Amino acid sequence: MHRYSAFDYNSNDSDDDWRDENVVGQAVTSPSAPQSQPFDDAPDRQPDDCWMLPSNSTEVEVLGPRCIRLEEIQKKTEAYVVFNAAKHQVDIWGDRQCIDQAKRLLIIIGNEINERKHPVRRTKKWEKAERELTEKEKRRNEKRQQRIMEGKSFQGLPTTPQPYTAIFPLPDDSIPLAKVIGDKEAYLNEIRATCKSHVWFEQDSNAFRVAGQDEDLVRETATRVRQLYLRTRRFAFQSKPEPAVIRLLYQPTKNIGARFLKLPKDFVPCDLYVSDNLMDKYRYLEPIVGGVIPKQNILNANSKNNTNNSLEQTMSLIDLNEDNDNALRSGAGGSLYDIPERLRTLNLENAKRMETALDEGLESLRLVDWEITMEVAFGQIYLLDYPSRDTFYTFPSEDLAFTYFPNSRFNSKLAPCIGTSYDHVKELLEYLSQHAEEYTDSPRTSYVIQALQNPTLPEQPPKGLHPRSREAIAAEQAAKIANANAPTWKSVLTINRFTLDGHVGLWNCVTDCETLVSINCTNLEGDYSWETRVNYARRLPSDLNTPQGQFVEHMRLSNENRLVIAVVPGYRPHVIKQLTKWVYAWGKYTVEVEKEEMWDMANMEEALLQASGLPLDLSSYTPHRVNFHVSMVRENWRDRFAENVQLQIGQAPTWTTRDFLVADHTSGDPESTALLQEDAKRFADLLTQVLPVYYEVKPASLV
């Protein structure tokens, strides 16, 4: 494949010395193409540089109708560009940086046009004779063939008695056998070849039988067949695990309640776009400290009088004659007997509920080869669906914990934003730099692209047909219909590293991104609450002959460390994020303070980008939203979940749910849900001390 590069302009050369006028006038120029642009407004000097169009392409193919691509290039680069029809080239004026940028864009267009051109050959192309394989390549091929033949030797029943056998009986026949063993026994064949054992299914006994020469391999084979069956059974009637959402209240140390107030000014919710009407309906929890807790359950109140009596009682929680601003806010200290008896064991009950949810969630993911993550994110809890009460009504913490939060109609989320500018998180970063250990590669930069894509590349018309023939037109129409009806996936592409020349280095792409377990814990005695969540996603192949692979292949990194993306068939990005993470070791946890810069493609003239065919440089666009987040994670969580990505058929990772939930104090690094909650509360208290809230808080007037 030819690559077109720019040629330096030399005004001393004669036109006839380097350009054949017959090629320009006859072979390239289209009769219906527009003529050269007038030079009335061009600079009064020779062009500073030029770029010659490919000789086998017309100016309409390269520059678009009416040279629309030149207009876009001129806007992006601030260089003056004009198509010179007489010389079949683009003349360029400007400084060196603008000229180089304009020529890079023109080269990209020329390369894409050349790649799309497939000239029709009337005769078969001569090919070079295949070279003889080297000795190393021959040995490699021989070993590969030996492995294939050895794997086939274990298919079917053993021809001779085997010294070791095993059996795995199925509990019932509710699952079709083809789902377990795969198409043409593909799953069993992989286990047979890897474990070097015979495996077959006996219909009469409804069991798998294993036989082989090695006792350990036979035991491993039976185990993998069992785990293959368990994994198949788990997803036989549902394609995804059942998610779990739990809302908890951290056990208070004093008599405290909360009011549901309108969101403060500049509060940033989870969703990207929220209407003013919805924002006006959302609420956040305003803590109220006092000494009287109404004994009546609000949900079970039978009359408005009961509600009014409760309102009068809760209003007495605040001593209006005492000039103390902290009366409305949280405070440290307090005795266990200052709170209702039912709240004194609240953290123990919370730990049990968390343990049940995490045990079921992690166990459902243990045998799958998906990407799994677990983290604790911090922010503010805000309410979407909640009981309607008077603005100054105070909900007792006992009712929040045992009546409202467990109610299925109650809905709340954690807003993870802790700031919208560096000044908001500056004090936190300074504190962590002094009291924690910063990683050597901090800050880390990565890029995330959320997109809609096809599973495979769109169909292309068959090669070898004349572009204007009936067969070519019919094939093109059929390809368009097939591509329009092709399924689409929501995918997330993550780029962790670029090479020195600006190409993508380390990347991966996933789909089916879901949150399996979401446990948000409201902290009334501080400005920050937290959410423990388990996420999973299915990894897509990293091959270049895929939509995500082609998108990555054409992606570049600009000098300003911004992405430069191009339009690729079958891949449509809609949100692009640049993440900068400051990473610290804080005890047994890794704390990550993240700056998220987000671009919404819907607001960036995407249609014009596709029409022009030019790459999009994010350096020219201001991010539509900038947020800062903070979270903590344990490295051993990541190490355990990393095993799942490499799982083969029937394999299981070395970790179990007990590693996360059962505190082994003899190990020196115990883990449990109770300890996790204590550590999260300790970090939330730290955030309350060193990180003031970024939004404006105005207490509601009681007058």
Q: Which pLDDT does position 314 carry in this prediction?
A: 37
Q: What is the pLDDT of residue 702?
A: 45
The token pair at 608 is 């014009």
Return d(Cα 37, Cα 536) in angstroms, integer. Answer: 55
Distances, alpha carbon 581 to alpha carbons 259, 416, 429, 509, in Å: 35, 15, 11, 20
Amino acid of residue 177: L
Give the integer Cα–Cα distance in Å for 544 and 568: 12
Q: What is the pLDDT of residue 48?
A: 86
Cα–Cα dist 372/388, whole Å: 38
Task: Summarize pLDDT for 335-353 with one digit per residue, the tens.
Answer: 555 778 889 999 999 999 9
| Helix extents (H) in 457-498 | 470-484
**% helix / strand / coil in the chain, to the nearest 5?**
35, 25, 40
**CATH (one of 3.30.1370.10, 3.90.420.10, 3.90.1150.10, 3.30.390.10) for 140-234:** 3.30.1370.10
Q: CA 37, CA 46: separation in Å to the nearest integer?
A: 16
Supply the pLDDT for residue 191: 92
CA dihedral sign of residues 648, 649, 654, 658: positive
Equal fold, 15-116 vs 140-234? yes
- Report the topology of domain 15-116: Ribosomal Protein S8; Chain: A, domain 1 (3.30.1370)
On the 0-12 / 13-18 / 19+ scale of CB atoms within 10 A, 135 is exposed
Among residues 83, 85, 108, which one has the least CA distance to residue 28?
85
Residue 398 pLDDT: 92
The CA-based angle 547-549-553, given to 5 degrees, is: 120
- For 461-479, how does the pLDDT look when each residue is reduced to its tens digit (9 = 90+)? 666 556 666 766 676 677 6
Choose among 600, 618, 591: nearest CA to 687. 591
The list of the chain residues with pLDDT below 50 reads 1-40, 119-124, 291-333, 700-703
- Predicted confidence at residue 665, as pLDDT, reads 63
Beta-strand runs (E) in 587-637 = 589-600, 616-617, 625-633
Instruction: Indicate the pTM of the whole model.
Output: 0.76
- Per-domain residue ranges for the chain? 15-116, 140-234
Q: Indicate the pairing of strand 244-249 with strand 504-522.
A: parallel
pLDDT of residue 244: 94
The set of residues, in sequence order, having a beta carbon less than 8 Å from that of 8 and lying 6+ positions away, is: 49
